[in-house]
Amino acid sequence: MPTPKFATAARAALADTRLRRNLRGATASLRERAGASPEPGDWEELREAGRAIRDDALLNLDAHLEELERAVTEAGGTVHWAADAAEARRIVLALVQATGAREVVKARSLVAREIGLNGALAAAGITARETALADLVVQLGGDEPSHLLSPAAHRDGAQIRELFLRGLLGAPPDLPDEPAALVGAARAHLREGFLAARVAITGANFLVAETGTAVLLESEGNARMCLTLPDTLITLAGIEKVVPAWADLEVLLQLLPRSAAGEAMTPYVSSWTGVTPGDGPRAFHLVLLDNGRTRALADEVGRAALRCVRCSACLNVCPVYERTGGHAYGPVYPGPIGAILTPQMRGVESAADASLPYASTLCGACADVCPVKIDIPEVLVHLRGRVVESRRRRPVPTPELLMMRGLAWTMGDARRYEAALRRGTRWARLLSRGGRIRRLPGLLGKWTEARDLPAPPAESFRAWWRRRP
């Protein structure tokens, strides 16, 4: 079934009062946490430094990736290159099957969700056990994440309790919906999986080219268990995650925690480089994914989206996201960053992807909070232009394009324009009630679905001007 357009998918969310209440509470809490932490005195300088670091990494991405592969290999790891999601799935599936494991533990990885890894593993008879609490909730609920930082933001305590009672073996029937009790039940469920796991799959926030080091930030410690206990470690990352040197992390590790949760530092910052005899996994595999990223990199305006450090600050201030949640944006990247990243990685040919750049009021709040200064509204407008251009190339024009061409022809001649204005005014005044038009016919009805249109005056400005003495 094709993914629905944003407006269509958002209707169900807008009608779900419980979902909207949960989202409003979650985003308000995250904003309060960010606001409670005072900004460093050099915050704007840090943002500018972060922007420069990410831009330098992207503009010299080929050289940094070659350096990264060389460093990972020298440290005893293996680098795999995946051009698209299908190739990445094949690589990971082959690596897991080579170990003979029938179950893997997973730390949070957006790339794993992007390529549909869990479904591919399940089809091969391999169980993927999510270990981050929010991801576990999403997995048990059989739905999609709704937030980058808090994937289960659309669920409240009572809903999580019901999922745990159904999906966690050994969960007590009198389990309360208090956070401490729910966390305890999840910990007991996951402990056995950690101890028995032979293969772990993780994501990475950053990849340091000079040393071949992967860096992952988290708040629960589950990823660290994945990094240390299994024999085989597979890390999935997009090619844009590369940073040139360790010194760059000095800036980025100040920006990301502060923007994500108002913290001076994330509770757990793990870094690993290749393999170390007698300590940790005996085999390390790094899978680097393109999947449309080089296409985004080629766009001088749109490539700014690849600076993203996945802090989710833009989601927390977005009025559209707060009302619709993340599911309407598609299965991977929600919110304003998803509205500019997904259409670039996947193209704007499908109706769903073409609708994402319009899922915004262009209020600019997202650009104000972005720690690496992505001008999201600028990219949104740029992508809207790409959507329009893609429609011009269709062999059969869309009704909207035909209407706009007709308007252009009419307005291209003064006599045609004035004749159309006179006729249109008469019809519009017939449709008005109480000085307002509440429903226009045909395609024009899209405008009045969400707003009333003032009735036009009986006399146009041009006519009034001509009869002035």
For Cα atoms 360, 361, 365, give the angle at the middle one, nearest 5 degrees. 90
pLDDT of residue 204: 96
Identify whether residues 342 and 430 lie together within a single domain.
no
Q: Rounded mean pLDDT of 34-62?
A: 89
For Cα atoms 41, 44, 47, give the angle at the middle one, nearest 5 degrees. 125
Identify whether residues 238 and 374 lie together within a single domain.
no
Strands (E), 43-190: 78-82, 103-106, 127-130
174 belongs to a structural domain: yes
209 belongs to a structural domain: yes
Please tell me the distance from the alpha carbon of residue 94 to that of residue 275, in angstroms, as a whole number. Answer: 20
Identify whether residues 101 and 235 lie together within a single domain.
yes
pLDDT of residue 88: 98
Beta strand pairing call for 453-454 and 127-130 = unpaired
Residue that is last in its domain, among 265, 291, 317: 291
pLDDT digits (tens, 9 = 90+) for 262-305: 888 888 999 999 999 988 899 999 999 999 999 999 999 999 99
Residue 133: C-alpha distances to residues 54, 90, 137, 355 (Å): 30, 27, 6, 32
pLDDT of residue 389: 86
Please tell me the distance from the alpha carbon of residue 316 to that of residue 328, in angstroms, as a whole number. Answer: 16
Residue that is last in its domain, among 244, 262, 291: 291
Whether the pLDDT of residue 438 is over 90: the answer is: no
Whether the pLDDT of residue 397 is over 80: the answer is: no
Whether the pLDDT of residue 35 is over 70: the answer is: no
Residue 379 corresponds to which tokens in the numbers above? 């990219």
Please tell me the distance from the alpha carbon of residue 406 to that of residue 410, in angstroms, as a whole number. Answer: 6
Which of 374, 297, 368, 372 shows the shortest CA–CA distance to 338?
Answer: 374
Identify whether residues 70 and 47 lie together within a single domain.
yes
How many helices (DSSP H) and strands (DSSP E) are in the chain? 23, 12
Q: Which of 28-37, 229-238, 351-360 has the lowest average pLDDT?
A: 28-37
Torsion-angle region of 221 (φ positive above 0: left; ψ -120 to 50: alpha; else: beta): left
SS3 455: coil
Identify whether residues 419 and 344 lie together within a single domain.
no
Whether the pLDDT of residue 396 is over 80: the answer is: no
Please indicate whether residue 36 or residue 363 has the higher confidence score (pLDDT). 363
Please indicate whether residue 461 or residue 329 has the higher confidence score (pLDDT). 329
Which single residue is written with the structure tokens 């291209």? 412
pLDDT digits (tens, 9 = 90+) for 348-385: 989 899 999 999 999 999 999 999 999 999 999 999 99
pLDDT of residue 457: 85
Residue 375 corresponds to which tokens in the numbers above? 């001008």
Identify whether residues 259 and 217 lie together within a single domain.
yes
Global confidence as pTM: 0.86
Identify whether residues 91 and 155 lie together within a single domain.
yes
8 belongs to a structural domain: no
**What does pLDDT average to over the chain?**
90
197 belongs to a structural domain: yes
399 belongs to a structural domain: no
Q: Give the distance from CA 274 to its chain's centroid.
A: 29
Sign of CA dihedral 245, 248, 253, 255: negative
For Cα atoms 207, 67, 76, give the angle at the middle one, nearest 5 degrees. 75
36 belongs to a structural domain: no
Domain count, the chain: 3
pLDDT band at residue 36 using 50, 70 and 90 as cut-offs: low
Please tell me the distance from the alpha carbon of residue 46 to that of residue 239, in angstroms, as a whole number. Answer: 24
Identify whether residues 150 and 204 lie together within a single domain.
yes
Q: Give the distance from CA 400 to its chain's centroid.
A: 29
400 belongs to a structural domain: no
Q: Rounded mean pLDDT of 387-401?
A: 77
pLDDT digits (tens, 9 = 90+) for 132-159: 989 999 999 998 888 888 888 889 899 9
Q: With pLDDT > 90 as the criterion, what percentage of the chain qualifies?
A: 60
Which of 113, 114, 159, 115 shows the shortest CA–CA distance to 132?
Answer: 113
Identify whether residues 372 and 463 lie together within a single domain.
no
pLDDT of residue 364: 95
Which of 194, 213, 209 shows the shortest CA–CA distance to 107?
Answer: 194
Whether the pLDDT of residue 17 is over 70: the answer is: yes
SS3 437: strand
Identify whether residues 357 and 420 lie together within a single domain.
no
- The type of residue at 325 is G
Residue 136 corresponds to which tokens in the numbers above? 């576990």
CB 31 within 8 A of CB 317: yes
pLDDT digits (tens, 9 = 90+) for 170-183: 788 899 989 899 99
Inter-axis angle of helices 133-141 and 157-167, to 10 degrees? 70
Q: Which of 158-172, 193-207, 359-373 has the lowest average pLDDT?
A: 158-172
Q: What's the domain range around 154?
A: 43-291
Identify whether residues 184 and 266 lie together within a single domain.
yes
Residue 465: C-alpha distances to residues 12, 408, 413, 428 (Å): 49, 24, 19, 22
Indicate the DSSP class of residue 8. H
CATH number for 199:
3.40.50.10420
160 belongs to a structural domain: yes
Which single residue is written with the structure tokens 């899978």? 287
Identify whether residues 172 and 262 lie together within a single domain.
yes
216: buried, middle or exposed (CB in 10 Å: 19+, 13-18, 0-12)? buried
Residue 325 corresponds to which tokens in the numbers above? 């949640």
128 has which bridge partners? 104
Please tell me the distance from the alpha carbon of residue 304 to that of residue 317, in angstroms, as a whole number. Answer: 19
pLDDT of residue 28: 82
By residue count, the chain amounts to 469
pLDDT band at residue 421 using 50, 70 and 90 as cut-offs: confident
Residue that is last in its domain, among 337, 358, 393: 393
